[in-house]
Amino acid sequence: MSGFWERVANAVLIAVVTGMLLATLGAVTTLVIYVTVLLVLVVRHRRYLTILDRWLQTDGSVLPNASGKWGDVFARLMRLVREQSRTYQHISSALERLQRATSAMPEGVVILDEMDHIEWCNPVAEKHLGISSGTDTGQHITHLVRHTQFAEYLAAQNYAEPLVIKQPRHQGLILSLQFVPYGDKQKLLLSRDVTQLERIQIMRQDFVANVSHELRTPLTVIGGFLETLSDHSPSDPETFKWALGLMTDQTKRMQNLVQDLLTLSRLEDTQNLIRGERVDVPAMLRKIYDEALSLSSGRHHISLNLETGTQLLGSTDELRSAFTNLISNAIRYTPDNGNISLNWTTRDGQAVFSVQDNGIGVEPEHISRLTERFYRVDRGRSRETGGTGLGLAIVKHVLSCHQAKLEIVSEPGKGSCFSAWFPPVRLVTPEGDHACTILTNI
Ligand code: ADP
């Protein structure tokens, strides 16, 4: 029955009962009965209201005993409470999952309110920005990330591009920061560690600048000569020959540079270790020794000591290039009549190729940087002797592809010793290896 008809039926019932009571018991008794019934009803409702009040103060898990309409009311309330608690659990587990996922992100995430106060941040953001979600919640973000550019970026409200800054609280850390507006004037602040990327970018810029600089000098020389020659062809054949000679030198210099650049780029492509073939190092060194003699043209005393016949697993071409670079450096940085010795030996289970000279040597502060591309102690001397500044960078790459290490010991004015140490895993010992050969041009 609908509510309306129920109410009509109740009214009719009360009217009939009242009529009957009035007719049989009289008005006073009827009134007393009604007052009594009303009192009972008031007491009953009060009791249930008290039960409801107490029930609302509990977690609502146990349904109170009630009959009639109150029973229905409690049952309905119970259903509502259960639904609400299910929704609550669902939302809180979704929130927990979201927080766990955000915490696992490699990027820092900070949630800011509409006034740019911190509401929440993940552990990566704590590390990047030096903030703590425990103690810094509610703080204005610019009070904690103190950087003029950052404050300007926030105020400008143009967040299409990220802002790259050096984190003042964390030396050497470069961050990319970006605001992402959402909801009602709220923002996410995303932070990313771009230190490595920025370093690569700087290295790339330096590299391009260095290569351009290296190429510009010979090109200027050649261009200058060609211009002069095309304007007034020299009548003197000696001058002509001299100009051609210089142009040839500069062309050779550019060829060397391009050759070294190609070698470096090939080695950088070889991310993996070179497995390669069996390399007969003693045989290779004998050939390199002959080349060294011709490069030095009798200006140095050069000796070759082959104390072992140990061979290597690797690339013949790359190893030859590395060894040749070390030897040509020794010849170029050792004054005439100096001594240079090439040694192939084994020490502590490793094979060592070393080039020892008594040349100009290197000051200690330069030693750790010698293998950087284009790093030279004396730019003039390197250029004069046909250096590209890439030789030791190539040596380092070749050795690292062979799991080998470069050791540099040097003293200014006394000489240098460059040693390549090859680990046991790279060594092959031929049968009957008792070879000990000493070659010298003294
Ligand atoms: P470069 O083409 O300039 O020789 P390298 O990369 O081969 O380039 O060497 C880097 C720098 O290391 C050289 O410019 C030189 O200053 C120094 N160097 C290398 N080998 C020697 C050596 N045997 N004696 C002294 N200095 C050396």
What local confidence, expressed as pLDDT, does residue 134 receive?
A: 87
Give residue-wise pLDDT tens across range 187-233. Answer: 999 999 999 999 899 888 988 998 998 899 889 989 988 888 877 76
Residue 47 has pLDDT above 70, yes or no: yes
- From 18-27, 236-245, 253-262, the region with the lowest mean pLDDT: 236-245
Q: Which two tokens stand for residue 292?
A: 């060294």
Among residues 216, 219, 262, the alpha carbon closest in space to that of 390 is found at: 262
The distance in angstroms from the start CA to the end CA of the chain is 125
Q: Is 378 near ligand 1, meaning CB less than 6 Å away?
A: yes
Q: Can you tell me which atom of ligand 1 is nearest the CA of 325? A: 7
Domains by residue range for the chain, with CATH: 2-99 (no CATH), 105-193 (3.30.450.20), 201-267 (1.10.287.130), 277-440 (3.30.565.10)
Instruction: Give residue 166's identity as a one-letter amino acid code.
Output: K
Give residue-wise pLDDT tens across range 79-124. Answer: 998 899 899 999 999 989 988 888 888 999 999 999 999 999 999 9
| Exposure b/e, 29-56, CB count within 10 A at least 16 = b | ebeeeeeeeeeeeeeeeeebeeebeebe
Burial class (CB in 10 A: 0-12, 13-18, 19+), 141: buried
Cβ(333)–Cβ(360) under 8 Å? yes
For residue 102, how many C-alpha atoms fall within 13 Å in the half-sphere facing its CB?
Answer: 20
d(C-alpha 75, C-alpha 81), whole Å: 10
Q: Find tokens 């590390």 and name the residue.
A: 127
Where is 417: in which H helix or E strand?
Answer: strand 415-422
Where is 397: in which H helix or E strand?
Answer: helix 391-401
The 3-state DSSP class for residue 36 equals: helix
Q: Which two tokens stand for residue 317?
A: 């071409």
Residue 1 has pLDDT above 60, yes or no: no
β-sheet with 277-279: strand ranges across: 277-279, 311-314, 427-428
What local confidence, expressed as pLDDT, does residue 227 receive?
A: 86
Of all protein residues, the one whose alpha carbon is nearest to atom 21 of ligand 1 is 329
Q: Cβ contacts of residue 419 below 8 Å, gap of 6+?
A: 352, 353, 354, 355, 406, 407, 408, 409
Q: Is 331 near ligand 1, meaning CB less than 6 Å away?
A: no
Mutate to test the pocket of ligand 1, among 253, 295, 357, 370 (most ligand atoms within 8 A of CB): 370
Higher pLDDT, 353 or 169: 353
Q: How far is the CA of 347 from the centre of ligand 1 (A)?
A: 26
Give residue-wise pLDDT tens across range 360-416. Answer: 999 999 999 999 999 999 888 887 888 889 999 999 999 999 999 999 999 999 999
Mutate to test the pocket of ligand 1, among 267, 329, 331, 357 (most ligand atoms within 8 A of CB): 329
What pLDDT band is residue 154 in, cutting at 50, 70 and 90?
Answer: very high
Mean pLDDT of all residues belonging to the chain: 90
What local confidence, expressed as pLDDT, does residue 213 receive?
A: 87
Among residues 272, 271, 304, 276, the alpha carbon closest in space to that of 290 is found at: 304
Cβ atoms within 10 Å of 322's Cβ, excluding its own = 28
What local confidence, expressed as pLDDT, does residue 32 receive?
A: 92
d(C-alpha 339, C-alpha 170), whole Å: 49
What local confidence, expressed as pLDDT, does residue 4 receive?
A: 86
Among residues 353, 362, 357, the alpha carbon closest in space to that of 302 is found at: 357
d(C-alpha 146, C-alpha 131), whole Å: 12
Q: How far is the CA of 239 from the centre of ligand 1 (A)?
A: 33
Give residue-wise pLDDT tens across range 289-324. Answer: 999 999 999 999 999 999 999 999 999 999 999 999
The 3-state DSSP class for residue 229 equals: helix
Residue 241 has pLDDT above 60, yes or no: yes
Higher pLDDT, 187 or 237: 187
Q: Can you tell me which atom of ligand 1 is nearest the CA of 359? A: 24
Q: Cβ contacts of residue 415 below 8 Å, gap of 6+?
A: 334, 338, 356, 357, 358, 359, 361
For residue 306, how many C-alpha atoms fall within 13 Å in the half-sphere facing its CB?
Answer: 20
For residue 261, how many C-alpha atoms fall within 13 Å in the half-sphere facing its CB?
Answer: 14
Residue 275 has pLDDT above 80, yes or no: no
**What is the DSSP code string of 297-355?**
TTSSEEEEEE----EEEE-HHHHHHHHHHHHHHHHHTS-TT-EEEEEEEEETTEEEEEE
Cβ(389)–Cβ(373) under 8 Å? yes
What local confidence, expressed as pLDDT, does residue 315 receive?
A: 92
Q: How far is the CA of 216 from the centre of ligand 1 (A)?
A: 21
Cβ(393)–Cβ(262) under 8 Å? no
The 3-state DSSP class for residue 176 equals: strand
Q: Is 377 near ligand 1, meaning CB less than 6 Å away?
A: yes
Q: Is 415 near ligand 1, meaning CB less than 6 Å away?
A: no
